Each structure stands twice: as structure tokens, then as C-alpha cells.
Amino acid sequence: MRLRTGLLGIGKIARDQHIPAIAGNSRFELVACASRNARVDDVANFKDLESMLAALPDLHCVSICTPPQAHFDAALMALRAGCHVMLEKPPTATTRQIALLAEEAARSGRTLFQTWHSRFAAGVDSAREWLRGRKLVSGKIVWKEDVHFWHPGQRWIWEPGGFGVFDPGINALSLLTELLPDEVAVERARLEFPENQQAPIAATLALRTTAGVNIVAEFDFRQKGEQSWDIELATTSGALKLSRGGAGLELDGRIETLDEGLAGEYPRLYRRFASLCEAGKSEVDWRPFQLVADAFLIGERRIVAPHEI
Ligand code: NAP
């Protein structure tokens, strides 16, 4: 039986990735969408999740593609209606909310797949394999992009719970926590807030692993020219560079993987979602989110010039 699926929040990621990935996976059937302002052809359309769930009591799954501020209420409602839930990153607006969702999924016996799409990038499995058994010496993350190009008109990103530069930056932390054999914590942080916005435009984090290795992470939304989504890890026996958000991998300067961008990530995400639903399991890992929350807690704040959206 195919998993009858509803999509919530029809914006950039829903159209670019979720709709094609669902269409390409025979385990799923997209039957409905819920969005306040958008419609999708050839499926039932609703203004909100509540009316979608009321009209379609036989829905199996809800995939949530709204900004993080709207994730908690929607995921809770879908789980309580008996649906499996796939949640876009960042998981929720507060750390307590994702813990509560995990508890609700366990209680209701439904799958909660709290996704980190970058972990499904082409270079990640080989990078994890290569690192296993090697001794890390240092690490550097450079995650710098032009917010005007990648997030045009996305007001929510600058509002409380919108994460600012951590909306893309949390992807780097999702990779780091996936790759490192040791755990990592934030030691110091500096956040730059435009004086007219509620979320940071840039941040620098000093992280340290439980083995005492220092990792520096730089995030910036003001990047012009070449964009960077790179992680470099030096070990006592060679160096690794993950580039293009995990789609490119170099081991000791040798190119290992070809770039497929986001294209391969979402088909893999939906394959994982199908197996989790079939196995009756959830997948939730909020460590990357804790790192961001900790940066907000201990970070020095600097106010910078106003930023136009
Ligand atoms: P987006 O283009 O702004 O689309 C999100 C849609 O959600 C909006 O078009 C809006 O549609 C709906 N929505 C519901 N509640 C909303 C609210 N309170 N504020 C604003 N919109 C609301 O955003 P997106 O780029 O698709 O990103 C959505 C989520 O996917 C984010 O968590 C983001 O981090 C994640 N993501 C994005 C990308 C990417 O490349 N863009 C990649 C990976 C992950 P209606 O107005 O019709 O309701």
C-alpha cells in the first residue's frame, strides 16, 4: 500500500525538492497540500493543516515544509491525528518543542522523522568512513552565502525563531555531529545582529570536542562572489574537505565525489522516511539545534548596520 501523503507549506523547498522526490518514490502518493497562499496541481488543496486532516482521515503521512516557527503546532496536530511526520530542518523554534514532539511520536506509535537533509549529501558516508579510526587534530567550517540570492523575500528568517544565518548554518553542524566520532560543544560564540532584525546575519563559533580538539565555525549571510559550504578536518593521518554542503569530498586533496547538489538528498530522505514508517521507528537528533541554542545563550552580541531584506 502506498503512503498517502500531505505536504504542508508550499514554498521554495516544497516545490524544488519535496514534490519531485515524492513523485519519484513509488512508496508515496502525494494526495494533498495545505498552504495559505499556494496551490499545487492535481492534488486536493487546503488553506491549513486542520482542514486537510479533517477532510482526509485516511492520510498516512504529513511532510512539513513551513518555516521553523510553524513546525511545532503542525507536527503535534499531525501526530495526534495519527499521521507519520517528516519535518524539515531546523526542527522547531525552541529546543523543548522538539523534545515534546519526540515524546508525542513515541506515545502515539507514529514515526517522527526530524530531517537533516545535508546528512544525505553524496560525500557524507565516505567522509564518515574515512574519519573512523583517524585522530582529529583540528577543524574548520566556513558557511558563507548571499542571503539575497538564496532567501529572497523570506521575512521569517529574520524574525524570532527564524535562525538567521543559522538557517543554513545548522546544516554544517548537522554534518559535524554526524561525522565526528566524539561529541562537540560550544565554548564561545560571537553573533552579529543587524540593528533592524531579530536574528543574526553572521556568527563565529569556537567549538571543542570531548577529546579536546578545537573547531572554528564561521557563518555569514553577506557573502558575494564564490559561496562556501565547506568543512575541513585535519587528522594525524591526512585531511578531509567536504564542500558544497557535503556534495563534494576531497581526501588528501584527491576529489572523491561528484557534485549532485541537493538533487540526491531528497530522494534519499524519502527512502529513509518510508523505511522508518514501515519499521514503526522515529529518527530525531537535536544535537545540531542544541549547538545553535547554546551559541544564542553564551554568544557575545554585536549590533551591525541595518540590513535590507
Ligand atoms: P519559503 O519559500 O518561505 O516557503 C515556506 C512556505 O511555508 C511559505 O511559502 C508559506 O506558504 C508557508 N508558511 C506557513 N507558515 C508560515 C509562516 N509562519 N511564515 C512564513 N511562511 C509560512 O521557505 P523555504 O525556503 O521553502 O523553507 C522552508 C523550510 O525548509 C525552512 O525550515 C528551511 O530551513 C527548510 N529548507 C529550505 C531549503 C531551501 O533551499 N530553500 C533547503 C532545505 C531546507 P503559504 O504562505 O502559502 O502558507
- What confidence tens digit (pLDDT) does each residue in 30-85 have? 999 999 999 999 999 999 999 999 999 999 999 999 999 999 999 999 999 999 99
The string of DSSP letters for 92-130 reads -SSHHHHHHHHHHHHHHT--EEE--GGGGSTTHHHHHHH
Q: What is the predicted pLDDT for the residue at 1?
A: 87
How would you classify residue 133: left for phi > 0, otherwise alpha for psi between -120 and 50, otherwise beta? left
89 in catalytic set: yes
Mean pLDDT across 227-244 = 97
Q: What is the predicted pLDDT for the residue at 305?
A: 87
Ligand 1 lined by 67 (C-beta under 6 Å): yes
Which residue is closest in CA terms to ligand 1's atom 37?
A: 13
Mean pLDDT across 273-300 = 98
Give the best-scoring range by mean pLDDT among 200-209, 246-255, 261-270: 200-209
For the chain, the straight-line distance linking the first and the last C-alpha, in angstroms and rounded, comes to 45
The yes-or-no verdict on residue 226 having pLDDT over 80 is: yes
Q: What is the predicted pLDDT for the residue at 259?
A: 61
* Whole-number Å distance between alpha carbons of 93 and 199: 12
Closest listed residue to residue 8, CA positions, set 49, 60, 53, 54: 49
Ligand 1 lined by 251 (C-beta under 6 Å): no
Residue 306 pLDDT grade (very low, low, confident, very high; cuts 50, 70, 90): confident
For residue 262, report the distance from its CA to the centre of ligand 1, in Å: 16
| Residue of 89, 140, 144, 281 marked catalytic | 89
The C-alpha cell at 69 is 516557527
- Using a pLDDT cut of 70, give the percent of the chain over it: 98
Mean pLDDT across 110-114 = 98
* Whole-number Å distance between alpha carbons of 161 and 301: 17
Mean of pLDDT over the chain: 96
Ligand 1 lined by 295 (C-beta under 6 Å): no
The yes-or-no verdict on residue 262 having pLDDT over 80 is: no
* Whole-number Å distance between alpha carbons of 114 and 88: 7
For residue 299, report the distance from its CA to the centre of ligand 1, in Å: 27
Q: What is the predicted pLDDT for the residue at 35?
A: 98
**Which residue among 66, 113, 270 is best mutated to probe the pocket of ligand 1, counting the most ligand atoms within 8 A of its Cβ?**
66
CB 243 within 8 A of CB 172: no
Please, is 104 exposed, middle or buried when counting C-beta atoms within 10 Å of its C-beta (0-12, 13-18, 19+)? Answer: middle
Indicate the SS3 state at residue 169.
helix
* Whole-number Å distance between alpha carbons of 95 and 99: 7
The C-alpha cell at 118 is 545535508
Q: What pTM, to 2 d.p., does this model score? A: 0.97
Which ligand 1 atom minimizes the distance to the CA of 167? Answer: 34
Q: What is the predicted pLDDT for the residue at 256?
A: 84
For residue 211, report the distance from its CA to the centre of ligand 1, in Å: 38
The yes-or-no verdict on residue 17 having pLDDT over 90 is: yes
Mean pLDDT across 111-133 = 96
Q: What is the predicted pLDDT for the residue at 232?
A: 98
Q: What is the predicted pLDDT for the residue at 49?
A: 98
C-alpha to C-alpha distances, 17 to 110, 155, 170, nearest whole angstrom: 24, 21, 19
Which residue is closest in CA terms to ligand 1's atom 1?
A: 11
Ligand 1 lined by 10 (C-beta under 6 Å): yes
Residue 258 pLDDT grade (very low, low, confident, very high; cuts 50, 70, 90): low
Ligand 1 lined by 18 (C-beta under 6 Å): no
The yes-or-no verdict on residue 11 having pLDDT over 80 is: yes
C-alpha to C-alpha distances, 36 to 2, 31, 49, 194, nearest whole angstrom: 27, 17, 10, 29
Q: What is the predicted pLDDT for the residue at 300?
A: 98
The residue count of the chain comes to 309
For residue 161, report the distance from its CA to the centre of ligand 1, in Å: 13
Q: What is the predicted pLDDT for the residue at 257?
A: 65
Ligand 1 lined by 66 (C-beta under 6 Å): yes
Q: What is the predicted pLDDT for the residue at 12?
A: 96
Q: What b/e readout covers 51-71, taking b as 16+ CB neighbours within 10 angstroms?
A: ebbeebeebbbbbbbbbbbbb
Q: Phi then psi for 280, rounded to 5 degrees?
A: 65, 35
Residue 307 pLDDT grade (very low, low, confident, very high; cuts 50, 70, 90): confident
The yes-or-no verdict on residue 263 having pLDDT over 80 is: no
Q: What is the predicted pLDDT for the residue at 261?
A: 66
Indicate the SS3 state at residue 63.
strand
CB 235 within 8 A of CB 137: yes
